[in-house]
Structure 1
Amino acid sequence: MRNPSDTLAYLIAAILVVQAGLRIRPALKGQRRDRSLWGAVAGFTGAWLFRTSDSHAFFQSHGAPDLPYFLKHVCALLGICALLRYFTAVHRSGAVGGRGFGTRLADAAHRLGAAATLATVTGMGIALMRMSPATDPESVYFVERHAGNPFLSLYMALFYGFWATATAIAALQWAGPAKRAPLRSLRVGMRMMAVAMALGTVYALVRIIFVLWSTGVRVSPEVNAQQETVTDILLYGFFLLWGLGSLVPALHTAHQKWLSARRLCELHPLWSALARHSPTAVRHPAATYFTRLSPKCAVLDTIHDVFLSPAPSLPARLSRFAIDIRDVIAELRRTAPHGLADAALAEAWARPHPEHPPVVLAEAWWLCAALSFPSSARDTSSPYPFGASIEPHQEIDHLRQVAAAFRLLTASACREADPLGRLSANARLSAR
């Protein structure tokens, strides 16, 4: 059965690996703050993996039993240093606004961070070499392995002193700007990370106090185990809160992309029909290559239009679909009969549908019929009493309803005698 401590370590490492995967694309694009955050995630992931029993067993079998402790501490220092660089880059970009005490402190820490990290790691390495061999080589706890060695206090003071300072600065950095963050998900994430950094500071202070105390007093194994349990709880709380807090904005962004992709798929049948009818009215024409090969391959054209057509993002592509639909409707109004809107409304009231309001159904009827008229433009536009919504999200929601009704009507038109022909005849009669 696996050690519960190892299970938690692998769980936290898995959360951090998910973060690294979500952030690798922005990091590769060369944005400084994204590279720094990715470096912090990578450093903390390494620290947790070096903490596991599997790592200790590997290095033990290769004659370097203290090396995983040292590598764990080095990875943790590199991770917290990268976090300081990340926050400084965020503030310099103006993403959270303001330049308070925490930001000025971060600027100073950023300027001294690389040199301080190098000096700390060098000092820890020298102290570790002077601590060998271990006084209790059977223990799994680093403090207990080298209990009574005066260089242990130096090693732990360097590591935890740097850690306590860095996490305290980070807590100040995230606590203040969290109130001014523009998005709720960003505020929640920053508050979680501020609490995590406060736990990290408490963890480091407890470790420093215990190491200094255990240097002058012989500590029993039971007391040492209790101290390890308390500090492990603080450490797990620190990383879980920080990992989840930093994931909140990313998950919010991923959720928005998923919603945009779903709405694009809902709008695509309507957009595609309009774009094929008036290819010059849309910014990018609808893909038809696979549909021409076989109607069964039409889904590949849909994938191209929704995910691969030129656009900086899925939300931007969704806005473009809405604009394209309205632009084609403006062209259709110049070819549709003047009585088409009245005929569509009459048809919608005469043949209601439980899932669609009559006005939405009438707009879908108008679109179905207008696409069947020849492209002979007039100087005047036919009436179109289905106005666009003022708010963008309301417009998207309305077009989704129209697209759903449009799919229903185009499917039923294939099964019935000639509903569009009847509607077109009624439109011409109404126009007289």
Structure 2
Amino acid sequence: MFEDRALLARLWREEIDRFRDTHRESERLWREASAHMPDGVPMLWMAKWPGPWPVFVERADGAHFRSVDGIDHIDLCLGDTGAMVGHAPAAAVAAITEQLQRGSTFMLPTVDASAAAALLAGRFGLPSWQFTLSATDANRALLRYARQVTGRRKVLVIDYCYHGSVDEAFATLAEDGAVVPRRGNIGPPVPLAETTVVVPFNDVPALEAALATGEVAVVLAEPAMTNIGIVLPQPGWHDAVRAACDRTGTVLILDETHTLCAGPGGMVARDGLRPDAVVVGKTIAGGIPAGAYGMTAEFAERARTSLELEDIDVGGVGGTLAGNAVSLAGIRATLSEVLTADAYPAMIERAAEWTAGVQSAIDRHGAPWQVTQLGARAEYSFLPRPPRDGREAAEADDFELQQYLHLHALNRGILLTPFHNMALMSPATTAADVAAHTAAFGEAVASLYA
């Protein structure tokens, strides 16, 4: 916890005043929008952006966007991965536009469907794919299939995990080890202990003990934690998870929605991981809604043969817009022409430059913080060493300090992810973009630790 709260409060007020002076058109639009939208935003979590009102976007291209206030911004948030390919990538825009002119949704396949599935199979090494409108939808479908084929009820998740808005994942461990709702969980439908088992990341004994009960149908995990700060797997963690699932007949799902930053096939391909199913979403269609899940041949066969054709449309998996023609055109173009293997080296190099710049400022001013990189993504946390699990990362958070640092950056034309201290690199992000953040971040840290 940052100790000088009076200093932090003064710096915050200065940045608020600066924001008010330079974002008058956003204020006008926000006040107008507030007549018909709570907090003036289309989704309430958008109110979490630092400042008295959100910035309204006029247009975006590549790694930059322009606000209605006439300010150019370097976008290091990139829609919290939704725009990891950059804004309006030409190949995806062309394919999406062309398909829109031919029709958008039919509840029937197009040639792009099989092409997109083949591209994903080649990247992740899993042969069987289905398409959704989001990674959340993909996770929900796989949880249903896992419970269907195992005949078990419970889902095991990692403490402080992130899997979109999946109900079963909003659980944490109380001080006595009981499974309870995460703070802020809105209207949980049932007590979380009825559906969910929770273990800390990197805690092999806890995982093995939980699976040994025979109650768990499926382990749903990220290859590395990404939404509570970046928490990397310890050596042997993934091997132990796979072995425990094999021993107990438990399905293993790895959610690569954020860790696709690690490489073309995420951490699954980079690190040779062996899940029964994998989930991707957000950026795979160039910024329009799309998700997908891949399965091993064995898991796909077990799931498919467990279903009656007569009931296949009413079992809680799918949706009339899932797998629509426009999404699939976007996926095919994005994977084949934008987010290619050739795009990753430069993205990862930019992330390494960002990491070095942040660490340099931390070291120069003696801030007790650290920074972690995962492929094209990097993040600093208010800890002197990398966190081992989600609880360590969560307990180190300082919301007021985070808000100040984010508003300081925003006032200098740099956008960070509002929920944590993450920066993401797109194929269009330049070394000059990163250098601008390095300079602004150094100024912010100096203001706190001068």
- TM-score with structure 2 setting the length: 0.19
**Which structure has more strand as a fraction of its residues?**
2
Q: Computing the radius of gyration over CA atoms, which structure comes out larger, 1 or 2?
A: 1
- TM-score with structure 1 setting the length: 0.20
Q: Which has the higher contact order (CA 8 A, sep 6+)?
A: 2
**Which structure has more helix as a fraction of its residues?**
1
